[in-house]
Structure 1
Amino acid sequence: MAVYRGFDQQELDREYSPSSEVADFDAELRAYAVESGRARRELPGYRELRYGPDAPELIDFFPAARPGAPLHVFVHGGFWQELGKEDSGFPALDLVPLGTAFAAVGYGLAPHWTVERIVEQVTSAVRWLVDHAAELGADPERIVLSGSSAGAHLAATALLDERLRGRIRGAALLSGVYDLEPVALSYVNQPLGLDPARAAALSPLHAGADALAGLPPVVLALGEHETDEFGRQQAEYAKALRGAGVAVHELLVGGRNHFDLVFDLGKVGTVLGAAVEALRRG
């Protein structure tokens, strides 16, 4: 029996299982942890910052060598229930040597934290970084916000905060989920507990043209090896953004999948790295 857009339950669950498109899911996640650990050990000046009173409200910060550098803010994925900032510092290995400061945002995970509370935490973290950029040695006029998978959803939702309007130079959203209706109908919802009304309210795709208007330029990127639903989500969000007058650069990155695409964020010579560099330059 179809439960969403012609998918039966098994098919829908597979569409929201990006690990089905990779040969070794565990190896992908190990690479996050190993390279993030290397960033903390090898990059000078690394420190952990607190942006709020609750235990998970922490940021791993990697300064650039010179003051006044651009700042790249990254929100990790994990379907709102896995991973952490400790697994998310690896892009700093590429970005910091290029003269860009890097911040990996930590937040609470489901089921202990609701998706609404997670959204609040990430938005608060981004606001805190914007407010404190100068004292961290970064240029508050050159901040790029990025996120992968559920992190792209969280970053896209943070962009809707009125207090951040005009304060983010651009956004890079990778393999994102922008409509939570199918998520609420899939296996992913077990720890989230979303109902249809909450899923709709939490969906950037349904924010409306007035809310989307005035957002900064957005890069939307997808790996070649992703399920069809992630492609549909990106295409529909791109259409909504363009309809609101937002500048959108869509990418389909050959050879990459849902998990390793993020390794290109700061890599010179990659299509994603070039697009992110263009955002920093404005």
Structure 2
Amino acid sequence: MVDEELERLYSPSRWSKRFDATQVIQHHVKVVSAESEISKSSIPNEIGLRYGPRPAQQYDLYGGESLPQNAPLFVYIHGGYWQELDRNISAYCVRPLARCGIRVAIVGYTLAPVAPLEEIVEEIRCALQVILDQANLSGCQCVWVGGHSAGAHLALSALFGLKTEEQASTAGLQLLRGLVLISGVYDLVPLIKTTVNTPLKLNEERAKALSPLVQLPGVRLAAWARRLHLLLAVGEHDSPAFIQQTQQLAQLLKGRVAGVEVLEVQGVDHFDIVENLRSDNHVLTKRLKELILDSKQH
């Protein structure tokens, strides 16, 4: 049974000031697809690196030999409510970062309903393990992990959901400096009564188990996690529910990690907050570059 108010609150496309709900998504796909093609043709890359056996378990690495071997790395996980979009059209942040010496990995994953959400989180965990281990072997200076919308949920869940013995299992984790979580959804319980849940098929028990806002209060963070800096970004014209969940996550993690910074980006919605990562002048692009480049000094 769909709750119309929750449906509205958890439909980010309904809150854009630029377009109607259908147009904003069409425009988003057009913009990110075009920019991703430019990234592929202009930045040295390795496309389709495997991290697992499923067809979608691949990532693309941008920077190649044009950057020093020890260049910092930004790992990006796309959104789409775990059921739409893919890595092929998610390379829109690559050019501004590569221009200032940052390598970028764009991660793909199996979408719902082909994979249940628990398996998607596990895929991202596996991807991050592979990418961090490879970064460690190549002499990378530091790694940041970011995600948009569902991708922010996956980044946080995959890293902070690690069990203690797994947390210490890789030297690659020591390279992690922080997370950049953009317009994320961190409590999945309200989604049960929306059409988002049609392919997810979540019940309350599973939704709670998959919700960082529900699970994190009881988690004792490992030493490497407590050293991280978190940038939680959200758009002025995001849905009030997304803004509220970002603020709740900030409160929950303050004092438990090295730093929590909330950045409400003025004049943007759920979609152009990341579309504009293709621009050097976007406030979020600038902050992302500062954080990564500053952390490689430490």
| Corresponding position of 2:178 | 170
Q: Is 1:74–1:105's contact at 8 Å kept on the other side of the alignment?
A: yes
1:189 pairs with 2:183: no
Deviations 1:157-180 (CA, angstroms, capped at 9, x unpaired):
122122575441111000000111
| Corresponding position of 1:224 | 236
| Corresponding position of 1:124 | 126
Q: Is 1:75–1:151's contact at 8 Å kept on the other side of the alignment?
A: yes
Q: Which amino acid aligns with 1:230?
A: F
After superposition, the CA RMSD in angstroms is 2.0
1:247 pairs with 2:259: yes
Q: Percent identity?
A: 36
**Could you list the runs of 5+ residues in structure 2 that have no partner in the other structure?**
none
**How far off its partner does 1:252 sit?**
0.6
What is the CA–CA distance in structure 1 between the aligned matches of 2:275 and 2:55, rounded to whole Å? 28
Q: Is 1:169–1:279's contact at 8 Å kept on the other side of the alignment?
A: no
Residue among 265, 269, 273 paired with 1:261: 273
| Corresponding position of 1:39 | 39
| Corresponding position of 2:146 | 146
| Corresponding position of 1:71 | 73
Secondary structure in structure 1 of the residue aligned to 2:124:
helix
**How far off its partner does 1:278 sit?**
3.3
Whichever structure has more helix as a proportion of its residues is 2
Q: Is 2:28–2:275's contact at 8 Å kept on the other side of the alignment?
A: no
1:208 pairs with 2:198: no
- The number of aligned residues is 274
**How far off its partner does 1:266 sit?**
6.8
Moved more, 55-64 or 41-50: 41-50
| Corresponding position of 1:93 | 95
**Alpha-carbon distance change, 31 to 269 in structure 1, aligned in 2, over 3 angstroms:** closer
**Could you list the runs of 5+ residues in structure 1 that have no partner in the other structure?**
none
Q: Which amino acid aligns with 1:13?
A: E
Secondary structure in structure 1 of the residue aligned to 2:228:
coil
Q: Which amino acid aligns with 2:250?
A: A
Q: Is 2:35–2:278's contact at 8 Å kept on the other side of the alignment?
A: no
**Alpha-carbon distance change, 203 to 233 in structure 1, aligned in 2, over 3 angstroms:** same
What is the CA–CA distance in structure 1 between the aligned matches of 2:41 and 2:58, rounded to whole Å? 18
Q: Which amino acid aligns with 2:201?
A: G
| Corresponding position of 1:106 | 108
What is the CA–CA distance in structure 2 between the aligned matches of 1:114 and 1:211, rounded to whole Å? 26
Deviations 1:224-265 (CA, angstroms, capped at 9, x unpaired):
111110011101111111153441010110111101111344
What is the CA–CA distance in structure 1 between the aligned matches of 2:255 and 2:48, rounded to whole Å? 39
